[in-house]
């Protein structure tokens, strides 16, 4: 379950980062996508830990 939750949140974080970086061109999109990926992984792991039995 933890893996699935991290996968979903990291994908969403990366997509939001790409969308926010669009005004900065391709490089801005890439950088913010990587940052969003990291945030998604961190948040997904914390969320999975919180709801784990």
Return the pLDDT at 52: 85
- C-alpha dihedral over 49, 34, 9, 15, to 10 degrees? 170
Return the pLDDT at 14: 97
pTM of the complete model: 0.88
User: Do residues 40 and 32 make contact, with C-beta atoms less than 8 angstroms apart?
Assistant: no
Return the pLDDT at 22: 95
Return the pLDDT at 53: 79
Residues 6 or more apart whose CB falls under 8 angstroms from that of 7 comprise 44
Over the stretch 1-53, which tens digit does the pLDDT of each residue have? 899 999 999 999 999 999 999 999 999 999 999 999 999 999 999 999 998 87
Return the pLDDT at 49: 93
């Amino acid at each position: 379950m933890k893996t699935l939750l991290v996968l979903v949140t990291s994908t969403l974080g990366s997509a939001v980062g790409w969308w926010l970086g669009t005004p900065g061109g391709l490089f801005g999109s890439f950088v913010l996508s990587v940052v969003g990926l990291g945030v998604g992984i961190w948040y997904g792991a914390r969320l999975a830990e919180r709801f784990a039995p």
